[in-house]
């Protein structure tokens, strides 16, 4: 894995990223649950069933990420000192894989995701790296990814693999010229 750039200085002053700690697991679970609210509303489960399902799903996802992206950055997004989301980044030789970006429901549509993505695209572009992310095809953020120049390069079930490339980098990855 290349040395990840320190993007903190490039963030808007009200945003901060910090490493996720074991003590953040309840917060991270709450953020995860917030991404599934609309889906859970379609079930006929009671609150206890939904909570148990989401807890199981969160821990399965968390274990998967820890196993398959062991050297990734697992970050908590803070706005004005308050934790509002999570950002998981895997800097590879030829690309930056955004493993996950999620915000608590009350903090969406506030420009946080767009600001973070712009900083990440600039940092990746400076290293000639493409940026990729799997996005659910009906995710409202899909429009943001398209506005920022991401293009669909694949499908995996309900997910679209979206990729952004710096100018001059062919589809499928960057040159990895910078460590």
pTM above 0.85, yes or no: yes
Backbone φ, ψ for residue 11 (5° rounding) = -75, 150
Provide the pLDDT for residue 4.
Answer: 86
Residue 115 lies in a domain: yes
Asked whether residue 122 is domain-assigned, the answer is yes
Buried b (16+ CB within 10 A) or exposed e, 133-154: bbbeeeeebbebbeebebeeee
How many domains does one find in the chain? 1
Q: Quick check: is 94 in a domain?
A: yes
Q: What is the pLDDT of residues 170-179, one digit of tens each?
A: 665 554 443 3
Can you tell me the mean pLDDT for 4-22?
Answer: 93
pLDDT in tens, 116-156: 999 999 999 999 999 999 999 889 899 999 999 999 999 99
> Domain range holding 160?
8-164
Q: Above 80 in pLDDT, residue 169?
A: no
For residues 59 and 55, give the distance between their C-alpha atoms in angstroms, rounded to a whole number: 6
Has residue 174 been placed in a domain? no
CATH number for the domain that contains residue 106: 3.40.630.30
Using alpha carbons only, give the angle 173, 123, 98 rounded to the nearest 5 degrees: 60
Is 178 part of any domain? no
Would 170 be classed as within a structural domain? no
Q: Give the Cα-Cα-Cα angle 173, 176, 178 (nearest 5 degrees).
A: 145
DSSP state at residue 18: E
DSSP sequence for 50-112: HHHHHHHHHHHHHHHHHHHTTTSEEEEEEETTEEEEEEEEEE-SSEEEEEEEEE-GGGTTSSH
Q: Does residue 171 lie within any of the structural domains?
A: no
Answer whether 133's CB lies under 8 Å from 142's CB. Answer: no
How many whole angstroms separate alpha carbon 136 and alpha carbon 101?
12
Whether 173 is in a domain gets the answer: no
């Amino acid at each position: 894995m290349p040395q990840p750039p320190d993007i903190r200085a490039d963030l808007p002053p009200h945003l901060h990223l910090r490493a996720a700690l074991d003590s953040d697991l309840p917060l991270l679970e709450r953020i995860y649950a917030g991404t599934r609210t609309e889906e859970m509303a379609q079930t006929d489960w009671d609150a206890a069933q939904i909570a148990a399902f989401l807890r199981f799903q969160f821990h399965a996802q968390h274990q998967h990420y820890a196993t398959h992206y062991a050297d990734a950055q697992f970050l908590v997004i803070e706005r004005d000192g308050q934790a509002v989301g999570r950002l998981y980044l895997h800097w590879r030789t030829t690309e930056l894989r955004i493993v996950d970006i999620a915000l608590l429901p009350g903090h969406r549509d506030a420009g946080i995701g767009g600001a973070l993505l712009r900083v990440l695209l600039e940092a990746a572009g400076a290293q000639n790296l493409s940026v990729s992310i799997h996005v659910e095809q009906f995710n409202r953020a899909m429009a943001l990814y398209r506005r920022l120049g991401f293009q669909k390069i694949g499908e995996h079930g309900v997910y679209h693999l979206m990729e952004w490339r710096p100018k001059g980098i062919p589809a499928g990855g960057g040159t990895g010229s910078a460590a």
